[in-house]
Structure 1
């Protein structure tokens, strides 16, 4: 959900574009400290900038709104102007607020945390601490076939499409459960809580379809190779109860 007015979206894109020009002579894309300094410049634009100093909006709420609770190295691709161009910023310390659909970045000088709307963001990636590999997040126009409200949602790409075949993506959603301890039908929960709402989808042929962590769901989502998928799942003794198993099946499907 956008956190700032549309006027600020333009200012964000403009701020990134102007900052890029300062580094264009030495690198194709700002990296590391240079990229973070762009954010420092952006933060000095005052109240009209599409950023804000991090606040304590989640204080007292149980659970985490973030995909990862720590800042990690990342890359952001930002829209540049209205001609379909973009700028890429590498080596920025990022954190993704999945509850608000917003990105946070650490300023190198002040160590302040800035939060900015993802409206002008085309894609971003985060270096995963467990694997050391980047996990890419991007929007999919096919998401509107599932729910129009998903058009601005970023999905983590678990298996990229190859040769136009199916892709596997994950929506790392977060939802808030309000305290409910008053009245005869209350649950007795005395605190607000943010919980994960993970959903998996296959993207193919201009549409997106939700799949669950079980054999029946993935086979029904890819009916043109259903018998081969069943045989593969059986031969590999896949329980289909984990994300890893789901990735294996989609990878096999892409090879057919």
Structure 2
């Protein structure tokens, strides 16, 4: 295990030097602690030629990974949502999410939660008085559809986003649709009041970046 981990670090470092980018860096604690936090397995190329991608970010970038023990590592990589693992750029290695607490990239923090033995990748869009509005990031894999020589169906496998909004309250998560009716029910106010307040504030209920500002109107 230790030999594999050291090889992994060397691989990342050489790759970074070749590209003139930041490599695998521990931002606190020791390398041994990071080794205990991760299990490493080989990444394959099974998704070559597939439409779309299984990743959280559109491209590989510098990210910070924090473990449950408080250790942090910084490297150029991405998060494979479909495989539930962190991928190192040009290293062909994947780090499963068992010990990962959160991932930071593009100025945003994504938390790793576990619900019914399934990993959830979420971001907090709004913190209310007694609830949190979360966005859960998911990907689904759809196989190509063939129905004959002149098939009009999808002829290539593809990944599609399947993200979802959730309300976290009292340690329970329930699906949430960001519309006038759901907001009215959430705060116990008439639907017409919700519509009018949003209109008067020149906010757009369709824009995710404005969700928090909209909810603040009723707090």
TM-score range, shorter chain: 0.7 to 0.9
Structure 1 residue aligned with 2:175? 210
Structure 2 residue aligned with 1:117? 96
The TM-score with structure 1 as length reference comes to 0.63
Structure 2 residue aligned with 1:96? 79
CA distance in 2, matches of 1:70, 1:38: 27
Aligned-residue CA RMSD in angstroms?
Answer: 3.5
Match for residue 26 of structure 2 among 10, 24, 35: 35
Gaps of 5+ in 1: 1-10, 20-30, 43-48, 80-85
Task: Report if aligned partners of 1:77, 1:124 keep a CA contact under 8 Å in 2.
Answer: yes
Change (3 A) 1:165 1:90: farther
Q: Which has the higher helix share?
A: 1
Count of residues in correspondence between the two structures: 197
Task: Report if aligned partners of 1:103, 1:115 keep a CA contact under 8 Å in 2.
Answer: yes
Change (3 A) 1:88 1:231: farther
Structure 2 residue aligned with 1:194? 159
> SS of the residue aligned with 1:87?
coil
Change (3 A) 1:245 1:33: closer
Change (3 A) 1:206 1:92: same
Structure 1 residue aligned with 2:46? 57
Task: Report if aligned partners of 2:97, 2:112 keep a CA contact under 8 Å in 1.
Answer: no
Q: Does 1:87 find its partner at 2:70? A: yes
> SS of the residue aligned with 1:218?
helix
Gaps of 5+ in 2: 10-21
* C-alpha deviation, 1:194, in angstroms: 0.6
Task: Report if aligned partners of 2:133, 2:167 keep a CA contact under 8 Å in 1.
Answer: yes
